[in-house]
Amino acid sequence: MRAVLQRVRQAQVKVAGKIVASIGPGYVLLIGFGRDDHPAMVGGPVWNRFLKKILDLRLFPDDSGPINQSLEDQDGAILVVSQFTLYADIKKGRRPSFSKAARPEEAKTMYHAFIADLTKLWPKVEQGIFGADMDIELTNWGPVTIWIDSQEL
């Protein structure tokens, strides 16, 4: 699993010009699944570490510094968007290869399981639509952008 997490003041997702999800302060989490990821990993140790890392990060400001409080401290929200392009391979040519990304049917299963498990741990979760052509609008706060890879946890 890979994710790009951005601290935001606000964000929204539109599909066909209609807002399908929006949040105030919190995180936009772009999440992708690789060909080595599989639905059997749902609920396992790597899966749970990944979820816990996202929720425990201290990326919000307080009087002590610019990245000192957690999402819980700020009572923030999370907007999750599927993003298979996090597995793009650009080594050859000009067109990226996505052969390292999970097959769509497996990725969709894991995406929905990820949303369900994240929501059990933190109820303020909104989501984009898996596989849809989405427009994401956000105000990156800081900016703060963090790369998270399950193989590095």
Per-residue burial over 43-76, b = 16 or more CB atoms within 10 Å of its CB, e = otherwise = eeeebeebbebbeebebbbeeeeeeebebeebeb
Structure-token pair, residue 120: 């059990």
How many helices (H) and strands (E) the chain has is answered by: 3, 8
Active centre residues (catalytic): 83-85
Q: Residue 141 and residue 5: Cα distance in Å, rounded? A: 11
Residue 111 and residue 117: Cα distance in Å, rounded? 10
Distance, in Å, from the CA atom of 71 to the CA atom of 21, rounded to the nearest integer, reads 19
